[in-house]
Amino acid sequence: MAHTFTPQICDMADSMVICLYQRFSQAEASLFLHCTIEALTELQKQHKIEYIQVNENLTEFFGFQLLEYLAQQIQPSNEPPITSAMLFNGKRLAKN
C-alpha cells in the first residue's frame, strides 16, 4: 500500500532527520511527541493518531504517522508573522 506524503510532511521529516518509515516503539514515540506513554495510549484509544498493531500487546508507529499527527496539531495564529526587524529587545529597529 503506497502512501502519498505532502510536501509539509516531507519537509518536516527532512528537517527533523526522521525517516518516514522508521519504526518507533511507544516509549520512543512518546519522547518524540513530548508526552507520556499514558497520553499516547489515550490518543490511540481515541483514534487520534495512527499506529501499527504489531501483535495483541505491542503497538509501534511509523515516522510519518507521528509527523502527520504533529502537523494536525498546528494551531493557526491571528497575529501577523514576526520579522527579524521586530525582534531587537521586543521593539522595532529604527530605520536610518
In the chain the domains, ranked by start, together with CATH numbers, are: 7-86 (1.10.10)
One-letter amino acid at 74 equals I
Q: What are phi and psi of 58, to 5 degrees?
A: -130, 125
Q: Tell me the pLDDT tens digit for each residue of 2-31.
A: 789 999 999 999 999 999 999 999 999 999
Query: Closest Cα to residue 8, out of 65, 68, 48, 49?
Result: 68
**pLDDT above 60 (res 68):** yes
**pLDDT above 80 (res 92):** no
Q: What is the pTM of this model?
A: 0.78
**3-state class (DSSP) for residue 75:** coil
Q: What are phi and psi of 22, to 5 degrees?
A: -65, 135
